[in-house]
Amino acid sequence: MAMNPRTDVAALLDHGRWSGYQKMLTVLAALALIFDGFDIQILGFAIPPLMKELGASRAAFGPILALGLAGMCVGSPFAGYFGDRYGRRPSLIGAIAVFSVGTLATSMVHSIAALAVLRFITGLGTGAALPNVSAYVAEFAPLRKRPVAVKLTLMCIPLGGMVCGWIASQVLPALGWRALYQLGGGLPLLLTLVLWAVLPESPRFLARKSSGWPRLAILLRRMGHHVPERSAFDDTTEQTTTGSSSAGALLRSPYRRDTVGLWLAFLFSLGSIYLVFGWLPSMLTAQGLGIGFASQGLTAYNFGGFIGVLCWAVLLTKFGSRTPLLFGAAAAGIAALIVLAVPVSASSHGWFLASLALNGLLANAVQTALYAVAAHAYPTAIRVTGIAYAAGIGRAGGILSSTLGSGLIAYGPGAYWGVIAGCMTLVFLGIALVPHHFQRRDDHKRAEQSAA
């Protein structure tokens, strides 16, 4: 009896071309993160008007911000479990549906308690979306394009925050915070219908079980690859690297140092970023600035983040991930102190916004690159789990910073920006611990020439 021909998925995906179809799927996944970034930051913009309408103090919103991040902490590992066992596609679409409905429902609340419950539910969805998007994009991209694909996708988080800031500056004074939440929930809900219709499952996930091989053959042909009829599939690069898809594999050799370093870097990078996302507008209004300028401040921070992700996508491709990330973490700490040094006055508004943009450029460039490093460091069987647990640890840092945010504001800008600078120092240490960084572009070329 003739043997079925065998096809190595790793050879096709890692060293093949990045087709227009693959790029289209990357764009669709990126749209999900634009809305994810929008809904993560929406409460930070809405706190000042919510304080007036609900008669609540600024301190009352610290636990609510923390509950949202607690939801992300729960949602991230659940996304890892579900995505690694049942597929990236259903996990991603389900996550978007959860945070869309949670945000839309928030537009109808009339109490702090209801706001807190719905913030937690929204956090479940936003926490679950990002790990699946990271893994999904990484598994569709050739190895040489993987850092660029993941980074360009993750830049949509600060882009979503930037869009939210611009919309908030227009909508909040004219229509109020409820209209902002209606936009933030309704638009991604429409996106789930589009994704359900056109988004396929990840090819590397389909390669893991023979039941997925017929769909995999169709998908690979659509990507431009020649696949023989009734082909069987192997993934020689990744499926043999680990026999477990459990979280325990993250702390076993050869991934232990990657996990410890990534967890440390995620803990303090996301802790510092969520301190800005949740409390920067409130800190600026506490310094006597209007809500319009406060929204512009967070928008400038996100705009810098958007530019930083673009720049670091190029740097990671050219130089690998280790050196650019170490430089970025150190520079982000210095940039936080620069923000503190710029006076907040009518004559220096432009310089102050520029300093916020610089800090956002460096901090967001480093943070989003950490997801790309995690997607690279872990193999298929534990990729979503690895990303999800790192993100969950990061959200734990966000919970702490959200809880302490109002107190830091009470102590003044020095405490606020000093904590952010200290966090980035610890991010530097975590990055230095990670052994499995991206290689330089020239190293990828040599590997491809050796494979050929």
Domain count along the chain: 1
CATH number of domain containing 158 = 1.20.1250.20
Supply 125's token pair.
Answer: 């969805």
Asked whether residue 231 is assigned to any structural domain, the reply reads no
Distance in Å from the first CA to the final CA of the chain: 31
Structure confidence at residue 362 (pLDDT): 93
- Of 212 and 64, the structure prediction assigns the larger pLDDT to 64
- Residue 6 is assigned to a structural domain of this protein: no
Mean pLDDT of 24-33: 89
The reply to whether 58 falls in a domain is yes
Question: Quick check: 76 and 395 in contact, CB under 8 A?
Answer: yes
The CA dihedral of 233, 237, 242, 248, to the nearest 10 degrees, is: -110
Q: Which position has the token pair 């103090």?
A: 57
Task: Report yes or no on 423 lying in a domain.
Answer: yes
| pLDDT tens-digit readout, 296-350 | 787 888 888 888 878 887 888 788 888 999 999 999 999 999 988 887 765 667 8
Question: Residue 246: its pLDDT value, please?
Answer: 61
Distance CA 440, CA 442 (A): 5
Write the pLDDT tens digit of every residue in 71-123: 887 887 787 778 778 888 899 999 999 999 999 999 998 889 999 999 999 98
Q: pLDDT over 70 for what percent of the chain?
A: 90
pLDDT digits (tens, 9 = 90+) for 42-77: 887 888 888 888 888 877 887 888 888 888 878 877
**Does 277 have pLDDT greater than 90?**
no
Kindly report the average pLDDT of the chain as a whole number.
82
27-31, 60-64, 249-253: which is most confident? 27-31
Q: What is the pLDDT of residue 447?
A: 44
Quote the CA–CA distance of 244 and 260 in Å, as a whole number: 19
* Residue 162 one-letter amino acid: M
pLDDT at 2: 46
Which of 38-52, 244-258, 260-274, 352-366 is the least confident region? 244-258
Nearest to 350, CA basis, from 288, 398, 297, 281: 297
Give the model's pLDDT for residue 440: 66
- Listed range (24-38, 129-143, 236-250, 295-309) with the worst mean pLDDT: 236-250
The Cα–Cα gap between 352 and 102 comes to: 34
Q: Is 232 inside any structural domain?
A: no
pLDDT reading at 446 higher than 70:
no
Report pLDDT for 301. Answer: 87
Q: What is the pLDDT of residue 238?
A: 60
Whether 288 is covered by a domain: the verdict is: yes
What integer pLDDT is reported at residue 428 of this predicted model?
96
pLDDT the model gives residue 269: 93
Cα(22)–Cα(246) distance, integer angstroms: 29
Q: What is the pLDDT of residue 425?
A: 94
pLDDT at residue 421, rounded to an integer: 93
Between CA 364 and CA 135 the distance in angstroms is 19
Give pLDDT tens digits for 373-423. 887 888 777 777 788 788 878 878 888 887 787 778 788 888 888 999 999
**Domain limits for position 157:** 12-218+250-451
- Choose among 106, 101, 158: nearest CA to 130: 158
Residue 2 maps to a domain: no
Q: What is the per-residue pLDDT for 247?
A: 65
pTM of structure? 0.70
Residue 11 has pLDDT above 80, yes or no: no
Residue 448 has a pLDDT of 45
Mean pLDDT of 131-148: 80
Residue 389 confidence (pLDDT) = 84
- Which has the closest alpha carbon to 208: 399, 328, 384, 433? 384
Residue 227 lies in a domain: no
360, 303 Cβ separation under 8 angstroms: yes
Rounded-to-integer distance, Cα 344 and Cα 49, Å? 22
The per-residue DSSP string of 77-118 comes to HHHHHHHHHH-HHHHHHHHHHHHHHHHHHHTT--SHHHHHHH
